[in-house]
């Protein structure tokens, strides 16, 4: 029987922070530790897609946490469909190879992105319920049928309000780790993917230099205990990866306001204030932390837009068309122009 593997994605955990996590640090000491080669952009959806497929964004197609859907003119973030991955994820590869050898391979995907429709045996992911009257109720979704109901009977309701939004914090990571322990004990998958977001919250709220990082990392380590205990009993190996580290920033760069002042971005007035008009805009930016995809429908506008962006304080560089290949972003979902911020700056959304 093959040794099961539990792959924990502890976003924001870097080698510098590892000493504050005794149990996770012991894993590294008893095994191995390697530096992560960052993907561009170093954001959740792109990083996870690369970890899952071993490919770069121009191959797997996940060029950011969100991008412009050109056929509908909508900017969408945090899409969960596994079909968005243009490259084969590791759980499908493993299942296919096992089938070819007449063997059985089972996998669980717990809160990793691109979860819906994934070729896994067990899945749990945050997924609100949307009513016909426009109402929204937080919830989780998973497979097989009835799994999430059983988990919530055992563990209590998933604390969704601590996963997204202003109350995001430790309880969701604790719940996910206990969920992983239950899945490992009950089903013993060959591969269990577990996403723990705790270190992604306060460093973004306050800046990594203004957080009690030793406390936060110890909280993450303590939350891992039920899962690590279950792994030990199941004889499973545990690997820990991270998507990125955080850097402190001092200034926000409002690219869309700059484009609007240049007469390139259009808005539509309405009962809830102004809304971005992607169809009438000659250029607009989909901002994603320290990278922005800038969509410019008409090639004749490329030089002007590039000049406007490049002359904006806080913008480090702007690449166009085939130049995007240097960053593995030469993909149709990417903006015609891609802007990168200075190291102490980030791109904000307002227009």
* Cβ neighbours, 10 Å, residue 346: 21
Would you state the pLDDT for residue 38?
A: 86
In this model, does residue 10 exceed pLDDT 80? yes
Residues in CB range of 15: below 8 A, 6 or more apart: 33, 35
Q: What is the DSSP letter of 219?
A: H
Half-sphere exposure of 322 (CA within 13 A, CB side): 0
Q: Using omega within 30 degrees of 0 as the cis cutoff, is the peptide bond preceding 178 cis?
A: no
170-208 per-position pLDDT tens digit? 999 999 999 999 999 999 999 999 999 999 999 999 999
Crossing angle for the helix pair 90-100 and 44-53, to the nearest 10 degrees: 20
| Strand pairing class (140-143; 122-126) | antiparallel
The pLDDT confidence band at residue 37, using thresholds 50, 70 and 90, is confident
d(Cα 60, Cα 53) in Å, to the nearest integer?
A: 7
- Specify the 3-state DSSP secondary structure of 19: helix
Crossing angle for the helix pair 22-30 and 213-234, to the nearest 10 degrees: 60
In this model, does residue 1 exceed pLDDT 60? no
Q: Using omega within 30 degrees of 0 as the cis cutoff, is the peptide bond preceding 66 cis?
A: no
Query: H helices of the chain, where?
Result: 22-30, 44-53, 57-60, 90-100, 147-155, 170-187, 202-206, 213-234, 255-261, 302-310
| pLDDT averaged over every residue in the chain | 96
Q: Which domains does the chain possess?
A: 5-241 (3.40.720.10), 251-347 (3.30.1360.110)
d(Cα 144, Cα 121) in Å, to the nearest integer?
A: 7
76-123 per-position pLDDT tens digit? 999 999 999 999 999 999 999 999 999 999 999 999 999 999 999 999
Would you state the pLDDT for residue 250?
A: 96
Of 106, 135, 111, residue with least CA distance to 124 = 111
In this model, does residue 14 exceed pLDDT 60? yes
d(Cα 250, Cα 341) in Å, to the nearest integer?
A: 12
Would you state the pLDDT for residue 312?
A: 98
In this model, does residue 2 exceed pLDDT 90? no
Is residue 292 within 8 Å of 285, Cβ to Cβ?
Answer: yes
Strand partners, 271: 273
Find the mean pLDDT for residues 282-310. Answer: 98
Residues in CB range of 280: below 8 A, 6 or more apart: 266, 268
Q: What is the DSSP letter of 59?
A: H
């Amino acid at each position: 029987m093959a040794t099961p593997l539990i792959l924990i994605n502890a976003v924001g955990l870097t080698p510098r922070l590892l000493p504050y996590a005794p149990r996770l640090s012991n894993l590294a000491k008893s095994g191995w530790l390697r530096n992560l080669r960052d993907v561009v952009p170093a954001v959740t959806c792109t990083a996870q897609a690369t970890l899952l497929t071993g490919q770069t964004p121009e191959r797997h197609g996940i060029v950011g946490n969100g991008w412009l859907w050109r056929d509908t003119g909508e900017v969408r973030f945090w899409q969960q469909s596994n079909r968005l991955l243009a490259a084969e994820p590791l759980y499908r590869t493993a299942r296919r190879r096992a089938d070819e050898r007449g063997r059985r391979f089972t996998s669980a995907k717990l809160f990793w992105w691109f979860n819906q429709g994934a070729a896994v045996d067990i899945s749990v992911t945050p997924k609100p319920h949307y009513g016909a009257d426009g109402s929204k109720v937080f919830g989780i979704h998973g497979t097989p049928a009835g799994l999430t109901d059983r988990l919530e009977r055992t563990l209590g309701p998933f604390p969704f309000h601590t996963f997204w939004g202003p109350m995001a914090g430790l309880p969701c990571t604790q719940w996910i780790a206990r969920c992983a322990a239950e899945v490992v004990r009950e089903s013993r998958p060959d591969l269990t993917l577990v996403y723990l977001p705790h270190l992604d919250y306060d460093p973004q709220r306050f800046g990594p230099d203004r957080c009690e990082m030793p406390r936060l990392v110890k909280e993450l380590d303590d939350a891992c205990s039920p899962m690590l205990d279950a792994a030990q009993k199941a004889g499973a190996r545990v690997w820990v990866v991270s998507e990125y580290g955080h850097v402190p920033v001092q200034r926000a760069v409002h690219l869309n306001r700059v484009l609007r002042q240049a007469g390139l971005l259009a808005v539509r007035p309405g009962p809830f204030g102004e809304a971005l008009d992607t169809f009438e805009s000659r250029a607009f930016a989909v901002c994603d932390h320290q990278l922005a995809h800038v969509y410019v429908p008409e090639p004749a506008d490329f030089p002007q837009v590039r000049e406007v962006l490049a002359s904006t304080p806080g913008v480090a560089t702007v690449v166009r068309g085939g130049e995007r290949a240097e960053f593995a972003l030469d993909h149709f979902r990417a903006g015609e122009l891609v802007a990168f911020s200075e190291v102490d700056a980030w791109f904000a959304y307002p227009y």
